[in-house]
Structure 1
Amino acid sequence: MTQQYSTSEVATQDLKKKLTISEKEGQEDVAAKETEELRAEISSQAGHDHCASFDPVHKIIKGFKYFLDNKFNKYPQWFQQLAEGQHPKFLVFACSDSRVSPSHVLNFQPGEAFMARNIANLVPAFNKLRYSGVGAIIEYAVAELKVENILVIGHSRCGGIQRLMSHPEDGSVPYDFIDDWVQIALTAKAKVKAEYGNLPFEEQCEICAQEAVNLSLVNLQTYPYVQRAIQDKKLALRGAHYDFVVGSLKLWELETKISDPIIIPPS
């Protein structure tokens, strides 16, 4: 019976062969380079092999051990300080998309950013009767943690934005929650359709992703604690858009100012 090997096992065997050859020839530098390349290849190929053998518990345990070895046990004083309390400088609204974790994309470390993730990174306007989860996050971050920055970051090829832009005009809603949620950004959709309706759908979605960020920045100002913090110059609002196709980031700041008063003399 012929023995079967997974692609990762084949790559491992190839790695051993290359190391043996390199050692004999005294090519340590070449071996080291090829080792790293093949390790990356093994990791990539293992991702394809995992369909039938993926162990979620093993993944969780392995991930936590990696965190212990590379973060928790490596920087004990840092985590001792975090145990006493958190003082993040940022509140970040990001999408739930698995490809756009702010901790990776922006290299936020534990204690640096208070995170809120949802479909299409949307922030609804202040409403005590709806979206209390979002309201609680904003209130706690601004009123209690005193964050100095709120960042709303959108991204390319966002499924939530695509759903918003393709939402049927007849009002039918096949989803229980998604359609109701993305309609928070209907104003952004309307603007894109009016100004860029002649563009291909994909381009409209990319523009809408950024317009939805701007709408969320406007909606943030409807929260009283956000208003007060901005007026006291203790809080700045920023928008961003991460394009994971080309690896680029756009960052902009919402500028707010009070206009000069109009003086109406007594009659």
Structure 2
Amino acid sequence: MEAIEKFLRGFSRFQQQYFSDSQSLYDSLRAGQRPATLLIGCCDSRVDPMLLTGSEPGDLFVVRNIANLVPPCTPDAPPGVSSAIEFAICNLEVARVIVLGHARCGGIRALMAPRQKLADTDFVGRWMKIAEPVANEVKRNLAHRSEEHQHKACELASILHSLDNLLTYPWLKERVEKGLVKLHGWYFDIESGALMAYSPRQQQFLPLVCPLERRG
């Protein structure tokens, strides 16, 4: 019950912050949402997009899944993520899409070093097949590097793979080509606290926010 009580205390703080004034933020949000950004992130409990970006309610339209993957636009694409992308682009008309990956991703580790499946359904294994081409390429090209290096390379490459898959959705590709939507690939380094972003011009991830110097 301690966890539940923590959640209830947290909701009380949220309530005080957003509903105590006569003119609250939610007064403007009751009629509907108009976020300018779709963020596709991981389910990992350490990587909360709202917390990481300091966003307010209504700022982000968030889709979270194992390893922040985007399936390609095919007739048999998993409808959960694809429908959220469609709604954000076609209904909410967001101006940007951010794919936010992170270090120490459990989904990527499971993909790089698969173990015996724990259930007959194997939902995780089936989902991670989206990034299987990336894992195979990393293993082939970086076979001489350490396991940790390969895992990080796969985390970064899977972000780019998801960005490529976004462009398989015709209505999204059209908006990107017209300059109506911008695509961004971000990487949160849990170990250092840094935020990286992919630079198409330099074809590498560069710091957006550098790590802090730790005292002691």
Check whether TM > 0.5: yes
**Greater displacement, 200-209 / 150-159:** 200-209
- Residue 231 of structure 1: CA displacement? 2.0
Query: What residue number does 2:56 align with?
Result: 109
Following the alignment from structure 1 to structure 2, what is the Cα–Cα distance between the partners of residues 204 and 133? 29
Structure 1 residues without counterparts, runs of 5 or longer? 1-53, 256-267
The structure with the larger Rg is: 1
Cα distance between partner residues in 1 of 2:136 and 2:187: 20
Q: Which runs of 4+ in 1 moved over 6 A?
A: none
2:171 equivalent to 1:225 = yes
Unaligned runs of 5+ in 2: 202-216
Residues 1:154 and 2:97 are matched in the alignment: no
Amino acid of the residue matched to residue 121 of structure 1?
Answer: N
**Which residue of the other structure, out of 130, 137, 147, is the alignment partner of 2:84?**
137
Q: State the distance in 1 between where 2:127 and 2:191 align.
A: 26
Aligned length: 199
Structure 2 CA distance for aligned equivalents of residues 117 and 75 of structure 1: 33
Q: Does 1:199 align with 2:118?
A: no
Distance 1:75 1:125 in 2: 45
Q: Which amino acid aligns with 1:132?
A: P
Mapped partners of 2:190, 2:22: distance in 1: 30
**For 1:232 and 1:160, how far apart are their aligned partners in 2?**
34
The superposition leaves residues 221-259 of structure 1 with CA deviations (integer Å, 9 ceiling, x where unpaired) of 01111112112210011101001111001012558xxxx
Bigger helix fraction: 1
TM-score, length-normalised on structure 2?
0.86
- 1:165 and 1:155 map into 2 onto residues whose CA distance is 15
Of 66-75 and 92-101, more deviation after overlay is shown by 66-75
Change (3 A) 1:73 1:128: farther
Percentage of matched positions with identical amino acids: 33
Give the letter aligned to residue 216 of structure 1.
S
Say what the alpha-carbon RMSD is for the aligned residues.
1.7
Query: What is the identity, as a one-letter code, of the residue corresponding to 1:167?
Result: P
Higher strand share: 2
Which fold has the larger relative contact order, with Cα–Cα distance below 8 Å and residues 6 or more apart in sequence? 2
